[in-house]
Structure formats: structure tokens, C-alpha cells
Chains A and B, each alone.
Chain A
Amino acid sequence: MLIIEDLQVKIGNKKVLKHVNLEIQPGETQILFGPNGSGKTSLLMTIMGYPQYKITGGRILFKGEDITHMTIDERARLGVGMSYQRPPSIQGLKTRRMVQVCGNGHIDVDTLAEKMNFTEFLERDINVGFSGGEIKRSELLQLMAQDAELSLFDEPESGVDLENISLIGNTINTLLQRVNGTQYDKTTKRIARERTKMGLIITHTGLILDYVTADKGLVLYNGTVAGRGNPVEIFKQIKKAGYKECARCAA
């Protein structure tokens, strides 16, 4: 379980998160909405543990441990993983090696890459010259290898072409032990009961909602949670009335 209590975060002198509260139960996936600059990326980066996001108040608990002051790698080893919107590229570091690192040496890189339709990129330097969509596939491949308990996705569908969007959607489902809403049946229910993986997904376009059935949605507005509810309903509202209205009505 992830518990965020009264989290306050600054970048430099700017307050980017103000009194954020959030709980993600084992097996639960939530969607994070919010206009540009509302603090969505900041929230994910703070959960992951990036030092430039200074926690000035509140705390973060994960699996019963207070991780507020843990380093990034400690959190990663505890089971937090992230798919970045714009990860850095690293010259000379082969994607294959990066995926091995994520899997801590225990995975079959080729089989995983095949699933992600990413085999031809394995011998290329990580993220060097990758297109927007390729970066997303590379990030998800790394997360698959990492097999995190809590996966954070920063706009996983942005820049992805229509051909690959379902691949992205289905991979997120696999990572979060979910099945596409259209295939709902008895086994699905069983899977849902036994599911432990947690997810927090930022979406800007809402496209991911067509593939991933999430349990909850929340709207971040100006650094605070302005509303919570059914993700599909929230997205409808946002489309209809815009964020400003939606933040007001949901609150």
C-alpha cells in the first residue's frame, strides 16, 4: 500500500505540491489528471525520490515503511518503478544492458523485448535518437523487467502512434495485473481478487482509459488534489467543461 500524507514539495523556491493526500491499496490503479503545470510529474518524481523535489512537509509510506527520506535506489529496490515522460539518453549504454540492469540479471531480455516489439532496439544506446513512441516502449520494457510493485507512469501514451497505442495499453495492463475491460469474465474477477500490483498513471489525452480500467481518478490542480472519482466520469467532465470548472465541481 502507498500512503501519502499531507505532502508538501518545493522545487527551488517554488511550491509545487501543497498538502497532497493519496492512498493506493494493493491491487489498485489510479489515474492522475490535471492541466499542464499542476504538479503531476512532480508528484511522481517525489514518490520515486528525486532529490530536487524537496519535501518540506508530510510523509510517504510504502508497504508500511516510511520512505520519505529514502534514496531513489532504495525505493527502487523496495518495489517502486517509473516510466518517464522524457528520460535522459545515455551514450554507449546499450538498451539490452539497461533492461538487464532493471531485471537485476534475472530476466530473459530477448523474450521480453519481443513482446514489446522492441528487439531491433536492443543493441542501440538507450534513448539515443529514439522517437517519442519508442521512448515509451523502451520505458515500459524496462518496467516489465523491473516488475515493480508500484508502477508510476508519466503520460505513457503521449507521442505514441495509433499502431502502438494498444501495445502500450496492454503492457500497462500486464504490469498492473489487469485485463482489458472488454474481456471481463470470471477469470478476470479472480485475477482482480488476487491482484497486488499498484499503479498511478498520468494521462493528458485520456486515451489510455480505452485500454486500462482504473479504480479511481484524481484531479491535481495548482499543486493540490481538487477532486476524486470515477476516472471515466472525471475525464468526461474535463472534456466538457475544462479543468477549471471540473476542479471546482469535483471539489
Chain B
Amino acid sequence: MRGLDDMAYKAKDKKAAIGPDIDLDSYSLKSATHADVKNLGTIPEEDRERMTLAGLDASEKERAGTYIQRDATAVHSGSNIDGLEIIPIRKALKEIDWIRDYYWKLASVDTDKYTARVRLDLQDGYVIRALPGKKVTLPAQACLYLEKEGFNQNVHNIIIAEEESELHVISGCASASHVTRGLHAGVSEFYVKKDAKLSFTMIHHWAEDVVVRPRSVGIVEKGGLFLSNYISMKPVKSVQTYPTTYLVGKGAVARSYSLLVGSPGSELDVGGRIYLQAKDTRAEIVSRAITNGGNIISRGDIIGEVPGAKGHLECHGLILNGGIMQAIPELKGMVDGVELSHEAAVGKIAQEEILYLMSRGLTEEEATATIVRGFLSVDIPGLPAPLKAEIDRAVELSQKDVM
């Protein structure tokens, strides 16, 4: 692993391919260590509330297990279900030999300064794995929590759905209410094995001056399904992420949905790239973005490398109260017989729709809110009910900011 460290070291000042450049040294790497949390009920209420906004269910009633990290410390990690493993990555690196088959196998340490940082200054992160054949229908939850002002949180996550397993993960990121400024860098590697199903839903609930640089790569084998959802509806200074997924086995499917709201001062540059590398693979990238005075770039890229591969891209953007909305859909077919399509639209709410609802008795504000809600409520197939509920809740909460 020395080699990787050297590579990371060389890339430690390498700017990202896209997105505003961030001065890493302006953030602190030192934080107080936090004590273990045995019982989620003992998390101070104020923090628990913030975590709840990012999808955490402290009662664990509808969760298969939980991982919580405060700043640099994994404070809670445990599965409630046989066949589901949840382990802090530092512990896994020390105690589990198979982790080396996954750690930095998809993501490259020298992608940019953020991956290099995660390599060189790893704090912690989670490994979540469903064992072969195990169908875990309740979501496992993870929460990455930023508590120290000006802190740079660096995490590395590995998510594995073994053959014929089913795994749902809700990964929430939030900052404490007193935090205004911070940097979150995260590397995530997703492994969806033969005939497995993985859904991963990331909900962000940051603060106005927080910078976020997730770096994700996934691989889907024969017959596997990877559903990836990203929800960011709260003010944040800058998010730039462009997760990549490789569909390498026959019939592998990847679907990605993002719901974005850009508040004034927020800059969201969010995309998804899917490589169709095997027969009968399917990709779908859907994004719904509303700018409310913020700056949103919604990217999508599907690359069809084999005949019979199909992909569809859909970016819909709404400008509500000023701001900039840019859709950048890209398609690349590399052989005969690939079918790729895209649909992009940027606009404002049609006056006709508002008036229609007003004629049913809603005020102009209520009508607008109803239309916005409809715009953001995409049907995401294949999600268990508690996850759907979390997404609906996030959409509901966003209303207050949008209106």
C-alpha cells in the first residue's frame, strides 16, 4: 500500500476536473474525540434532531443497523440483523483481511486532492455488507456528522451487496446547528455482485458555508441492480460530485435519481456517469433540480460500449426565484446497436398550472408549493417503504426553503 500513499502524496494539490477549487489548508484536521454511543437515545436531542433531518431513525424501529460518525470518530456501529455487517472502516482495515480486496479497488487515490486527502488523512467511515443470499429489506442507516467549526471530515465507505443479496442503505450527512463552516470529503466504493440488489440513498443536510466533495465509484455484476439516490435540498456552499458506475455483467442495471434545491449562495454541481460494458445492461439517470437563487449544474453521462445496451438520461430544472440552472447531458455510443436517449428541460413553473390550481381554491403560494412538490416527487421504483417515507419527508421539508 506504500505505492498508493506515494500516489496520493503526489496528488495532494491536484485540482478536481470540475467544480470550484478548495483550499484544504483553510480547514482544520483536529477535532475532539467523541465517546462511544451505546444507546442512540443518549445522543443529545439537539444533535439527534439534526441527524433525523438527514434520515436517521434513532429508535432504529425501521432500520437494520446503524453507523454514526461524529467529526473524526466512529461512535456507534452495529447491525441488528443476521447477515448484515456494519463495521467502521479503520477497524475493518485492522481486523478483516478481505477488506483489502475492496479498499481503493474502484476509486483512485490520485483522482484529485480530495481523494488524496481521504487516503492520507483517513478518519473513519463505514463498511456495510449484506452476506450472500441475504435479503435485508429494512434499510441500514449511516450518519456522518460534522460538529466542529471549520473541520475537514475525511471518510471512506465501502458498501458490498454479495451475490443474490439485497441491501438498502440510507446515508445521511449533517452538521450541528452551531456549525457554519466545514469541509466534507468522502470516498465511497460500491460492489453489487451477481443478482444482488443495492439501493443507496444519500441525504445531505449541511450548513450555508459547508463544502462537500463526495467521490464515488460503483461496479455492478451480472443481473445486479444498483439504485442510487442523492438528495440535497438544504443550503450548502458547494457540492461537487460525479459518481461513476460500471455495469460489467450481463443484464446489470443502474438507476440514479437526484433531487436538488439550490438556495441563494449554494453551488451544486451534481452528476452521474454510467458505463454500459456488458450485454443487456440498462442505465437511467434522472434529476430534478430547483434553483431558488442558487447555482445548479446537473450533469449526466451514459457511455454505451456494447450492442444492446440501453440508457436514458433525464434532467429537469426549474428556476423559481432567480439563480442559474444548467443541464449538461452527455451520451456516447461506441458501437452499433446501443440505444441512448436524453431529455433535458429548464424553465419556470407554467403560469397556466398555477391558475388551474387557484381555480380549485388554492392561493398562489399554495398552488406554487403544490406544483414544486409534484416536480420533486419522482416515483423511484424498488425502494422499501421507510426509505420512500424519508425521501418524501425531505421533499416536504424543502418546501419551507423554496417558498
Listed in ascending order, the chain A residues whose CB lies under 8 Å from chain B are 48-51, 71-73, 75-77, 81-82, 84, 87-88, 90-94, 97-98, 101-102, 104, 125, 142, 146
Contact = CB atoms under 8 A, between A and B. Distances in A.
Nearest to B316: A91
A97 B377 CA distance: 13
B186 to A, nearest CB: 30
A90 B318 CA distance: 14
Contacts of B358: 71-73, 76
Nearest to B364: A73
Interface in B218-252: none
B357 to A, nearest CB: 7
B359 interface: yes
Given A72-B359, A104-B361, A88 B374 contact: no
Contact of B360 (A76, A88, A94): A76
A142 B360 contact: yes
Q: Which 9 A-B pairs have the closest CB atoms?
A: A92-B374, A93-B374, A73-B358, A72-B358, A76-B361, A92-B377, A88-B352, A102-B360, A88-B353
Given A50-B355, A88-B352, A93 B371 contact: yes
Interface of B: 350, 352-353, 355-364, 367, 370-371, 373-378
Interface residues of chain B: helix, strand, loop or mixed (majority): helix
Most buried by B among A84, A93, A102: A93
Contacts of B377: 92
Main secondary structure of the interface of A (DSSP, over half): mixed
A30 B350 CA distance: 32
Contacts of A73: 358-359, 361-364, 367
B363 A90 contact: no
Contacts of B350: 88
Contacts of A49: 359
Contacts of A146: 360-361
Contact of A76 (B359, B373, B375): B359
Contact of B359 (A82, A91, A92): A82
Contacts of B363: 73
A93 B362 CA distance: 14
A72 B359 CA distance: 5
Given A73-B363, A73-B364, A93-B374, 8 more contacts: A51-B355, A73-B359, A84-B356, A90-B353, A90-B371, A90-B374, A91-B374, A146-B360
Contact of B375 (A72, A91, A101, A104): A91
A101 B353 contact: no
A92 B358 CA distance: 17
B356 A88 contact: yes
A27 to B, nearest CB: 23
A119 to B, nearest CB: 19
Contacts of B361: 73, 76-77, 101-102, 104, 146
A92 B352 contact: no
A128 to B, nearest CB: 10
A64 to B, nearest CB: 20
A76 B361 CA distance: 5
With a 10 A CB-CB cut-off, give which of A82, A97, A101 has the most chain B CB atoms. Answer: A101
Contacts of B374: 90-94, 125
A50 B371 CA distance: 19
Contacts of A71: 358, 364
A72 B355 CA distance: 7
16 contacts: A73-B359, A73-B367, A76-B359, A76-B360, A76-B361, A82-B359, A88-B352, A90-B353, A90-B374, A91-B375, A92-B373, A92-B374, A92-B376, A93-B373, A101-B360, A101-B370
A143 B295 CA distance: 40
A92 B375 contact: yes
Contacts of B378: 92
Contacts of B357: 90, 101
A105 to B, nearest CB: 11
A125 B360 CA distance: 16
Contacts of B356: 84, 87-88, 90
A88 to B, nearest CB: 5
A170 to B, nearest CB: 22
B340 to A, nearest CB: 23
A87 B360 CA distance: 12
A43 to B, nearest CB: 15
Contacts of A142: 360
A97 B378 CA distance: 15
A51 B363 CA distance: 15
Contacts of A48: 359
A186 B194 CA distance: 74
A66 B181 CA distance: 55
A72 B371 CA distance: 17
A101 B371 contact: no
Among B360, B367, B377: residue with most chain A CB under 10 A: B360
A226 B374 CA distance: 44
Contacts of A90: 353, 356-357, 371, 374
A176 B13 CA distance: 74
A88 B354 CA distance: 10
Most buried by A among B359, B363, B371, B374: B359
A200 B358 CA distance: 20
A142 B361 CA distance: 11
Contacts of A92: 373-378
Contacts of B355: 50-51, 72
B263 to A, nearest CB: 21
Contacts of A101: 357, 360-362, 370
